[in-house]
Chain A
Amino acid sequence: MTTHRLDARRLLCPMPVIRTQNKVAELAPGDRLEVLCTDPGAKADIPAWCRINGHRVIEIRERGNEIVLLIEVGDGA
């Protein structure tokens, strides 16, 4: 299991979702991805994207204006 990072700060939705989607496509099931963003919309959109595509959000943290989402890549089913 590897943890990868994605900097999606300053991007507005849906760009953080698109970047997350494209990054996850390169990863293997079980890998983790930490997404850093600033658009509050990402707090709803990235988890929604994960639910419909079979990935899991492990944690959402906020520090100041930044939001950190930790995702575990599913098996694509």
Chain B
Amino acid sequence: MKNAEIKTQQKRMQFMPDIKKGLIRNIVPVVFAVLCIIGACIAQARPLFLLSSVTIRMARNLLLVFSLIIPVVTGLGLNFGIVLGAMAAQIALVAVTHWEITGISGFIVTALLSVPLSIFFGWLTGRILNRAKGNEMITSMMLGFFANGLYQLLFLFVLGGIIPMVNKTIMLPSGIGIKNTVALRGLKYALDNVIKIEYDDLIIPIFTFIVIAVMALAIKFLLQTKLGQELRCVGQDMNIAEASGIDVDKMRITAVILSTILAAWGQLIHLQNIGILQTYGSHEQVGLFAVASILIGGATVTKATIGQAILGTFLFHSLFIISPMAGQKLVGEPQVGEYFRAFVAYGVIGLSLGLHAWQKQQAARNKFEE
């Protein structure tokens, strides 16, 4: 049928693969993949060691990176405010450690406890971001710094100072404030240990990965519901969304809340694997590293997928592991690699944001020349 032919042709025209264009579009992940391969060649690390390190780090970080997807889809950009989710998780963790609830039940209680906290934090963040439309990223970043101040006040002074703490093991010797490092003895590997495979150095926390996969599917599902459609619509154009009767501000707040909850759970998974809570430091880099990961995966301020999150996390952490080793081999100084890591994290964010702005300009120019 002629009609059908036209349709397939139109379809083909739109999806026609163009290798060069594809390469340019995916320039960021390609560059990082090349860097990883070169680094691995120089470092000459044992493949099994590499694999096990990357697997553990993926398990730790994936959910945190996933938490960035919904705000990007909703047009809020990269939500550096997931730091607040991490704080919610840590508050819940301290409470549960204080009550000495252990094992998987302890983990579940922590996860549940972090939800109301995240909803509250996310709601606040969302309300502030609604007043800063167009500047969400820098606002959410600053909000993270500001929240850090309140967080420190809570943990250094309020706990023990105003709220009496019965369990002294996690308190500073003076009895006021939480210790710098809290060992999460009861919760260490709480989730990982449910099902895991061990082989030589390689440990694969199967159950953690199952949980992460379920969350990924949940995000995918969510984006395909009516709610998801509204979120995407807001992300595309707030004015049109408003005109077609969608409550834009509410949708944006919803997106931030969801992101904050996911970040809280992500931080929980992260910390149960590490087993030690750096009370005043664990959350600080969360936003930065997650954002760097997803950007390396090829996501932009306006587009992010689960696949990009997974790829980015893999590349970012591979580079994290490989670069100190390569630095050691090259100049006998692992610090060089360490330096490279920090350089990469900040550099990639700056570069991607710059590239994104450039692409936008380019698109505008192309449109003009049409």
Partners in one complex: no
Binding site for A on B (CB under 8 A): none
